[in-house]
Chain A
Amino acid sequence: MLFLRLIIKNLFNRKTRTILTIVGISIGIATIIIFGMVSNGLTNSMSTAFKPGKADFTVAKADVADMILSVVTREQLQTVRNTEGVESVVPYVMSLAPFTGNPYFILGGIDPNDLDLLGARITDGRIYRNGDEVAIGRIAAKNYNLKVGDTIVLNNKDYAIVGIFESGVTMQDGGAATTIAETQRLNSYTDNQVSMAMVNINPGLDPRAVADAVEARDTALLCVVDMDDFGSLDQGLSIIDSVSWAISVLAMVIGGIGVMNTIIMSVFERTREIGVLRAVGWKRRRVMAMILGEAIVISLGAAIIGIALGLGVVWLMMQTNMAKSWLDITMEAEIFLQALLVAVVVVILGALYPAYRASRFSPMEALRYE
């Protein structure tokens, strides 16, 4: 307790420097939190999107850079249907229709009779019957304050909102749904083309085995059974993941160098003090523990501020309709522990050298230091 009090007093003796160091590290931690939560939010959102309702996996075109570019034909879907173990195939057209500042508002094309299979249910109003009608998702209704009876303008066309649906899939609930024919028109598809299809297999079978069989029958198709497969279909998520890691690592490296600089300065300024501590009998390891202790207190302070800052930024981000429609943000302890661990490790690494230097001071030399 006395030792901790000393550590805290040492830090508060140089308030401005300590606060600036904490701010520097906390920005790094906030970066990890923000990118981690956004990346996880996207992953959560995508992982449910590709296995909605009773679907076991999604089938799309292989070798596309982005899932929005996926186009499969009804003949290909027939091949899927004919694959052993496949029970049902639900065609889906994914169309993007900019809406109220959200360029990624999804207008999904799906046969009204297939909604059940995708786990979607109408919570208000009714299902659409033609291409002039849409059902909007629960999240979109809430975000844009829309209700049954309203009109929504997408791609310069008025659509009557006839129902509100809920599927439990953030991406779908954040958008709207209409007929396949209407979305085919919007995407300039022929009536033979759809974006992808959700596949339901016979009970007791392994989705991976059936997916492999589908891919074997048509190598131009890719089955998304899990998020690893999604990486092959859409590199966006893996790019976001990589970039977020790169930025986080960079932020922490800069933070670590900042800590090293701060502690080195602090150690040299306190050379005489350290000499006094050694002169009154402090062991080298206690001097080292004091310096490392100061670093740990800095990292814990930075972790608290960084986590709060990160959560604040994510909260602000989640006030935008686009984020609400696309991100399924969850509080996962893993991200916070990761941020805390990175902060402590980086700060300790940064403090290790100056702490070692301080512990090697000879009391006589340190006492002579001016």
Chain B
Amino acid sequence: MNDSIIETHDLKKYFEEGRVKALDGVDISIRRGEYISIIGPSGCGKSTLLNMISALDRPTSGQVFLDGADLATFAALDEVRSHKVGFIFQLHNLLPQLTALENVIIPMHEISGSASAKEAKARLLLELIGVGHLAGKRPTRMSGGERQRVAIARALANDPLVILGDEPTGDVDTKAGLQIMDILEKLNREKGVTLIVVTHALDIAKHAQRTIEMRDGRIVHQ
């Protein structure tokens, strides 16, 4: 596996009994600490690839290695999601009944530690992302950009090796989008977290160290 944190070999994901080929033989390799953007037209398989890498879904065939474990056959995918990856959705997906602080704590339920230590860490993460003042607020009382920042703090909760963003700026205005990308790039730069961002926006993609371009379920450029 050398320095790669993610590798896929002939990765395929078919839907509707093979009629829809979302991924059709994808081979990629991503190094630790790399910042990658994945671009391509709608329906080209970007999000599906991200779902495979983040252990949200299993491939139809092929292999997907994350930190040495083949997720195609690995039994405890929830362990991978909990400890190795942090996922940022296009829509923040925060739980509306919980405060920002409680939302950040949610992934920590699966790790050991005292409640006070978890709370302290969640506060720290919110401060780090610049939304410490929102700790006691519910998502319904935040702007789109604020919600997405809280979602980033949640993705960082369990110190993941990889942060995956599926159009993380897709639901916020340009200014908030740039701020969010600044935060993610800073995390990549200063903490060495591997960052993979799926985006339509070329001005966001160009900030990445490397861009993977997809079309019809295949990699056309990397």
Contacts and interface: CB of A to CB of B under 8 A. Distances in A.
Looking at A6, A12, A281, A283, which has the most chain B CB atoms within 10 Å of its CB? A281
Contacts of A283: 78, 82, 110
B79 interface: yes
B158 to A, nearest CB: 7
B56 A364 contact: yes
Contacts, number: 72
A108 B95 CA distance: 70
Q: Interface size bucket, A side?
A: 20 to 34
B120 to A, nearest CB: 12
Nearest to B92: A276
A364 B98 contact: no
B110 A9 contact: no
A280 B102 contact: no
Interface in B45-90: 51, 54, 56-57, 78-83, 87, 89
B51 A282 contact: no
B143 interface: no
Nearest to A12: B97
B78 A1 contact: no
A335 to B, nearest CB: 36
Given A3-B109, A281-B78, A281-B82, A273 B95 contact: yes
A277 interface: yes
A138 interface: no
Nearest to A11: B97
B22 to A, nearest CB: 12
Nearest to B84: A281
Question: From DSSP, what is the main secondary structure of chain B's interface residues?
Answer: helix
B51 to A, nearest CB: 6
A3 B98 CA distance: 12
B118 interface: yes
Interface string B101-113: 0100111111000
Given A1-B115, A364-B51, A281 B107 contact: yes
B109 A2 contact: yes
Given A2-B115, A367-B93, A281 B83 contact: yes
A4 to B, nearest CB: 10
Nearest to B95: A273
B96 interface: yes
Contact of B81 (A6, A13, A279, A367): A279
B103 to A, nearest CB: 9
Given A2-B105, A279-B81, A364-B51, 8 more contacts: A1-B115, A6-B98, A9-B98, A272-B93, A280-B154, A281-B107, A282-B78, A282-B110
6 contacts: A9-B102, A272-B93, A276-B95, A279-B93, A280-B157, A284-B78
